[in-house]
Amino acid sequence: MRRNPWFETVAEAQRRAKKQLPGTVYGALVAGSERGRTIDDNTGAFAELGFAPRVVGHHAERDLSTTVMGVPTALPVLISPTGVQAVDPEGEAAVARAAANRGVIMSLSSFASKPVEEVTAANPNTFFQVYWSGTREAMVQRMDRARAAGAKGLIVTLDWSFSHGRDWGSPAIPEKVDVKSMLRLAPDVLPRPGWMWRFAKSGRIPDLTAPNLQPPGGRAPTFFGAYGEWMQTTPPTWEDVKWLREEWGGPFLLKGVTRVDDAKRAVDAGVTALSVSNHGGNNLDTTPATIRLLPSIAEAVGDQVEVLLDGGVRRGGDVAKALALGARAVLIGRAYLWGLAANGQAGVENVLDIMRSGLDSAVLGLGRSSVHDLTPDDLVIPSGFTRTQGGGAGAAGQDIPSSSTVPVA
């Protein structure tokens, strides 16, 4: 009997991805830094938050749409930029088509396996992501190329990766896919003939180069070549962030904020938006879950810039909780990669449909007519849930109004 390609939950997409992918490829998706405490807290913290549903006064019609940096999206869920998507031969192109079909914004990593021109052609509402890596001239060339391709916003990621040790659970990844590496990986790859067949049908092999970092007249670096460039680049200052923003000259999102003081400095640097992010648990381990850090950051700067969140979002209910605590939208990473691995473009669409359904159920049950109406009063927030640096009042949860801790009628 042929298996139904549709799945009902992101957890099922992950189960199928694990069954489909070679262990090394799957391991690269689930890895986190050091002991993996942050990656566990990213997902576990959402489960600590409860909903406070209403019994009467529900709305028959609900608006789940919003805008992010002036770009419309049918859902407050964006595709997060992730590098080298070797889980499927179509990679970022398939993800971009899926996002376009569901009316959501695509974000493309500069470490992606597909060129920005191909991705913006598949989804005109694309943001391009860069690292502070290489010379200023090289960074300007990358931004100019993305702008010329039609990218509508720039995402600058500055939290990857402060941990130089091997990520928790991370497998050894080859520098490039050649005969030698294929022979070495054969015991891991051969038991997954379905994954091999998808690439064979496409006439491709997994591509570990980064075409969006290709200099004019030169060759695209390998993933590890690009990583080496990043490690050898002097870390940026806030003046460098301001320079990047001015050079881009358009909508600008800073990704990787976990502190209130950094959020305020980002506002001073002129960002359009920021994302509360710990790089999916691949930053410094024991950094708290982003949903714990969101309220204090949203309270401090949410009236000046758009505040987004990424990290640990696995269902539409998680999206609703983030919005209730001050996020304008969320970015998802592993969730859509599991969908891509499970069923290609259709699998990514499946994940986005799961997000939509869960979010709509939450908005309905909470008696709201729009995602913009969600507030902390829609949640049951346990004492001590939130975190801020320095062990101040926010560390004990007092930055959330007490009436939100146990909502009353």
Q: Could you tell me which residues are beta bridge partners of residue 398?
A: none
Geometric angle at alpha carbon 258, from 254 and 264, rounded to 5° = 65
Per the annotation, the verdict on 279 as an active-site residue is yes
Residue 231 to residue 145: CA distance in whole angstroms = 23
Q: Amino acid identity of 395?
A: A
Collapsed DSSP state (helix, strand, coil) of residue 51 = strand
Helix, coil or strand: residue 370: strand
Conformational region of residue 238, where left means phi above 0, alpha means psi within -120 to 50, and beta covers everything else: alpha
Q: What gap in Å lies between CA 161 and CA 253, rounded to an integer?
A: 18
d(CA 319, CA 313): 7
Q: Which residue has the tokens 């189960």?
A: 15
| Cross-strand bridge partners of residue 377 | none
Kindly name the residue from 59, 164, 279, 372 that is annotated as catalytic. 279
Q: How many angstroms separate the CA atoms of 155 and 62, rounded?
A: 30
Torsional class of 242: left (φ above 0), alpha (ψ -120 to 50), beta (otherwise): alpha
Q: At CA 382, angle to CA 378 and CA 388, rounded to 5?
A: 100
For residue 385, give both structure tokens: 């849930």
Helix or strand (DSSP H, E) at 331: strand 329-332
H or E segment at 79? strand 77-79
Give every CB contact of residue 137 below 8 A, 6+ residues apart in sequence. none
DSSP letter for 81, please.
P
Which residues are designated catalytic?
A: 279
